[in-house]
Copies of this chain bind each other. A is one copy, B any other.
Amino acid sequence: MAKARKKADKTPVPTPCAKCPLRRLEIFRKFSAEELAFVSFFKSGELVLEAGSTIFSEGTNSPHLYTVLSGWAFKYKTLEDGRRQVLNFALPGDFIGLQASILDVIGHSIEALTDVTLCVFPREKLWSLYEKHTGLAFDVTWLGAREESILGDYLLTVGQRRANERIAFVLLHLFHRARQLGLTRGNAVALPITQELLADTIGFSLVHTNKTLKQLRRSGAFKWTGSTFELVDEGKLEALVGLTVPVGGVRPFI
């Protein structure tokens, strides 16, 4: 089956919104028929990028905004001398580039961690979304508020937690988000994160991150070799973080 297209045919095959695999996940709310129709109209295409591609550059603008259909990306800011701070990760269902559409400039860069597929939405249509679909407009605001909430968690982490707590926080956060999206198999995830990226996320040097990680591994709370991360003792990591790591509840998808 599914042999209608020849192998050589590289024409992209955009996923119709009605069949979007994300919408089946229970963390996304159900759309009405009208909303679904509008989203289909809103979506103007798909963008496929390979790992390492820059999706947005800090300080720029864009005629598009995106939603992650598959793959991982990360948002970051840099200082002139090269110091880099990771702000957050973007997983399937996340909005990307909303700041550019709303604020006229985006305050951070975004780079693909894995090969990614993005749904493309033209910026001009965002206004009609607000005009015609209050529910979807609310969803956009919701996504922004959740982003703000996560940034607050990260700021608390980077500002106040110690090295092992920071690592525990980030690993748990990513694991929880991945699990919500059905990206885990058992207690394992494919984490496309290098230690250097982790270091830039928690605000420590690579060396110190590595040493703390080594010490943390001895606790047996998790295994992380190669690209697969396995959560062995969730409670042990949570204890380090202090409280359950919030992920962001059940809500929308555009």
Q: Does A214 contact B (CB under 8 A)?
A: no
Interface string of A176-206 (1 = CB under 8 A from B): 0000000000000000000000001011000
Q: Does A232 contact B (CB under 8 A)?
A: no
Cβ-defined partner of A108 (8 Å) among B108, B152, B243: B152
Interchain CB contact under 8 A, B158 and A203: yes
Q: Does A137 contact B (CB under 8 A)?
A: yes
Q: Does A98 contact B (CB under 8 A)?
A: yes
Residues A111-160 near B (CB distance < 8 A): 127, 130-131, 134, 137-138, 140-142, 144-149, 151-156, 158-160
CB distance from A47 to the nearest CB of B (A): 22
B residues near A81, Cβ cutoff 8 Å: 242
A131 vs B161: C-alpha distance in the bound complex, in angstroms? 42
Q: Does A87 contact B (CB under 8 A)?
A: yes
B residues near A149, Cβ cutoff 8 Å: 99, 103, 107
Interchain CB contact under 8 A, B161 and A158: no
CB distance from A104 to the nearest CB of B (A): 7
Interchain CB contact under 8 A, A142 and B203: no
Q: Does A102 contact B (CB under 8 A)?
A: yes
Q: Does A9 contact B (CB under 8 A)?
A: no
CB distance from A69 to the nearest CB of B (A): 22
Tier of interface size on chain A:
35 or more
A196 vs B125: C-alpha distance in the bound complex, in angstroms? 46
Q: Does A79 contact B (CB under 8 A)?
A: yes
B residues near A99, Cβ cutoff 8 Å: 145, 148-149
CB distance from A62 to the nearest CB of B (A): 14
A79 vs B98: C-alpha distance in the bound complex, in angstroms? 30
Interchain CB contact under 8 A, B148 and A138: no
Interface string of A208-224 (1 = CB under 8 A from B): 00000000000000000
Q: Does A84 contact B (CB under 8 A)?
A: yes
Cβ-defined partner of A249 (8 Å) among B103, B155, B200, B246: B103
Interface string of A82-119 (1 = CB under 8 A from B): 01110100000000001100111001100000000000
A153 vs B59: C-alpha distance in the bound complex, in angstroms? 13
Selected A-B contacts with CB under 8 Å, 16 pairs:
A77-B155, A79-B156, A99-B145, A99-B148, A103-B142, A103-B146, A103-B149, A107-B149, A127-B134, A127-B138, A130-B138, A137-B137, A141-B144, A144-B145, A151-B155, A160-B203
